[in-house]
Amino acid sequence: MIVVDTNILVSFALREEVGVRLRRRDPEWAAPSIAISEIRNALMGYVRRGEADLERAKRMNAEAVRALGDRIHAVDGAAVLETALECDLTAYDAEFVVCARALGVPLVTLDREILQGAPDVAVPPSAFAQP
């Protein structure tokens, strides 16, 4: 199992190579509950920019939610605030770090700030996918 952040979920929903390859490598994805709102927000950006229509965005949303299954986790709010301060992250990003730490699994992300701020759990997809 791995925790994935929003950029990985969007990559998977868009059928980009990084998301698809990572899903094949480890299909058991988890995320904090905020990931659902974040993916919807990202998909609306695609709709507003004319890069996807609403129906496609709905399908991509459903696909991302299915990828998580029942592995959507609530995280401790106090831990999020502490982690945001400790790692110099937004509270949004800290939710993913807290989730990964609580589950004892890697957080796979493309986000440089998360990779720098939480090297104890955060890994880029390229490092995780190594055999």
Return the residue matching tokens 């880029």.
124
Q: For residues 48 and 125, what is the distance between their CA atoms, to the nearest angstrom?
A: 28
Q: What is the pLDDT of residue 129?
A: 61
Q: Is residue 48 part of a domain?
A: yes
Q: Is residue 39 part of a domain?
A: yes
b/e string for 106-125 if b means 16 or more Cβ within 10 A?
bbbbbbeebeebbeebbbeb
State pLDDT tens for residues 35-92.
999 999 999 999 999 999 999 999 999 999 999 999 999 999 999 999 999 999 999 9
Q: What is the pLDDT of residue 128?
A: 72
101: its two tokens: 């730490």
Q: Is residue 130 part of a domain?
A: no
60: its two tokens: 């991509």
Q: Is residue 129 part of a domain?
A: no
* Cβ 125 vs Cβ 111: under 8 Å: no
Query: By CB neighbour count within 10 A (0-12 exposed, 13-18 middle, 19+ buried), where does 64 fall?
Result: buried
Per the structure, the count of domains in the chain is 1
* Helix (H/G/I), strand (E/B), else coil: 94: helix
**In the Cβ-directed half-sphere of 69, how many Cα atoms lie within 13 Å?**
9
CATH number (domain holding residue 93): 3.40.50.1010
Q: What is the pLDDT of residue 127?
A: 85
Q: Is residue 76 part of a domain?
A: yes
For residue 91, the enclosing domain spans 2-123
pTM of the model: 0.93
